[in-house]
Every structure is written in structure tokens, then in C-alpha cells.
Amino acid sequence: MQLQDVLFSQGFGTRRVCAGLVQQGWVSVSSSVNPGELTLCTDATTEFEPEGLVMHIQGVPWPYHEKAYVLLNKPAGTECSQKPSTYPSIYTLLPTPLRQRPTKSAIQGVQAVGRLDQDTTGMLLLSDDGQFIHRMSSPKKHVAKVYRVSAKHAVDQSQMDRLLAGVVLDDDPRPVRAVACNLLDANTLELTLTDGKYHQVKRMLAAVGNRVEHLHRSRMGGMALPEDLAPGRWRWLSRSELELLGPNSAK
């Protein structure tokens, strides 16, 4: 693939912009096999095998990814919308190329796998792979999502029993239930859900007579939010992490 096309596929702008980046001497390349060996490339039509290629654009390394699968530790006070109404969008926490990667759909760039409320913190996945987004967010696939819930009132056994047995929310007569519910301390629960309705945890807690004070998503499928990823920071998911997320989670 020509270097200008590799850059274009990664979201560095139009083909013309990408060719310009190369011609102006802003792009060096190395391979993941030999990361220390940087070669400046000023011919935008030079052919490269993209898999394993690491480009350095104005000195910043960018490993080629055919599809983007990233993890963000969502901070409080951010909205999972491209067009936020009140708080800054989580998309502003990502580098521009991730937001302008060309995709086959009308929407450019990576999209969040489901949404978290503005005040919810923790594990959020983003991708430009529509099938992955669908598989991870479909209630039929039963991907477990684990939430740490700080409740306003002490949680009692009858509330936990009702969360596990199922509660009816106002928009659907079918009860929704937690697949697991563990008490961490008097006011803190760890709740595992496999569906993802709007404000689901908050509405479930309200249905049993309690109230969510703070909500944090700590795990999806078999993968926990890494402790070394600070709030507001993102990183690429590794192949093994993608496998942990669920069966056939990525191509």
C-alpha cells in the first residue's frame, strides 16, 4: 500500500493532506520488528506492507491498525455523544486521527460501544468495526458488564434479592435482572448486567428503593479496566484483550 494511502486509512486527513505530510518530511517509518530503526520517507507513493508498520508523524509514533479497537477510562463530567449538550464529549479525549478514520458508514471515526451517563466513570470501548460494536452491545450476546455502584442508603438483602430476581422498569413490562450482585461494603455493590438499557443501573436501584450516588464500570466480558489507565486516558486494545472481551469479539 502506498504510504499516502496508509496514512489516509489511519485518519490523517484526505489523500492530498497525507501526501503533503510525507512530501514535507514529517513522516518516518519503522516496523514493529525493528522499532528503533527509523527511516524518513518523502515519497508519498512508496509501497509498504501496512501490517506491523509504525509511522512517526512529526515524531509521534502511530502503529498501523486495520481496524481501531480502543479503550478509554471515561472521566466524570463527559458525554458519550459526538454533539454533547452540556459537558465535553469523550471524543475530545481521543487523538484526531481516531476521530476521522474513513469508514464505509456515513459516520467517520471510532464510535463508542454503548453509552455511559455523563457522571458514570470507567471502562468504555470504541471502535470503527461496526460488527464488533454490534456484538459487544447486543443484549443477545450476553457480554457481562460489571458496575461498582455507590448507593445513597445501605443496601439490604431484600434489595439484592430483588435486583437478582428482576425489576420492572417504566418502559418495558419485562423484568430486567442483574446476573450477579455482590455487596462490597454497606453502601457499595458490584452489579453484573448483560443488557444495556438507558440509565439501567440507576433505574434498577431506584426500583428497589435506593439511589445511585456514583457509578463506575470496572469490567466488560473477561477484561477488567486496567489500573494503570488513568481517567481521561485511552489506549489500543491488544489482540489478547480483544479475545478476553468475549467470543469472536473482533475479526
Q: Taking CB under 6 A as the rule, does residue 199 contact ligand URA?
A: yes
Max Cα–Cα distance, the chain, nearest Å: 69
Q: Residue holding cell 486516558?
A: 233
Pick the piece of the chain touching ligand URA (CB under 6 A) from 19-27, 93-101, 115-123, 154-162.
115-123
In this complex, which beta carbon is closest to ligand URA, that of residue 108 or of residue 188? 188
Pick the piece of the chain touching ligand URA (CB under 6 A) from 39-47, 84-92, 172-180, 198-206.
198-206
Helix runs in the chain, H state only:
3-9, 15-23, 96-100, 130-137, 157-165, 200-207, 239-245
Q: Which of 5, 117, 119, 195 is catalytic?
A: 117
Closest distance of CB 229 from ligand URA, Å: 18
The answer to whether 62 touches 88, Cβ cutoff 8 Å, is no
- Which residues lie closer than 8 Å to 163 by C-beta, 6 or more apart? 177, 178, 181, 191, 204, 205, 208
- Which residues lie closer than 8 Å to 77 by C-beta, 6 or more apart? 87, 88, 118, 119
Q: Taking CB under 6 A as the rule, does residue 201 contact ligand URA?
A: yes
Distances in whole angstroms, Cα of residue 92 to Cα of each of 78, 83, 96, 100? 10, 11, 8, 12
What's the Rg (C-alpha) of the chain? 21
In this complex, which beta carbon is closest to ligand URA, that of residue 53 or of residue 201? 201
Contact residue for ligand URA among 90, 93, 116, 220 (CB under 6 A) = 116
Q: Taking CB under 6 A as the rule, does residue 202 contact ligand URA?
A: yes
Closest distance of CB 148 from ligand URA, Å: 11
In this complex, which beta carbon is closest to ligand URA, that of residue 53 or of residue 225? 225
Closest CA to 18 of 104, 48, 10, 95: 10
Active site residue 156: no
Instruction: Please name the amino acid found at residue 121.
Output: T
**Number of residues this chain uses to bind ligand URA (CB under 6 A):** 8
Q: Taking CB under 6 A as the rule, does residue 215 contact ligand URA?
A: yes
CA 230, distance to chain mean position in Å, is 14
In this complex, which beta carbon is closest to ligand URA, that of residue 181 or of residue 215? 215
Q: Taking CB under 6 A as the rule, does residue 73 contact ligand URA?
A: no
Closest distance of CB 200 from ligand URA, Å: 4
Catalytic positions are 117
Q: By the criterion CB under 6 A, which residues form the site for ligand URA?
A: 116-117, 120, 199-202, 215
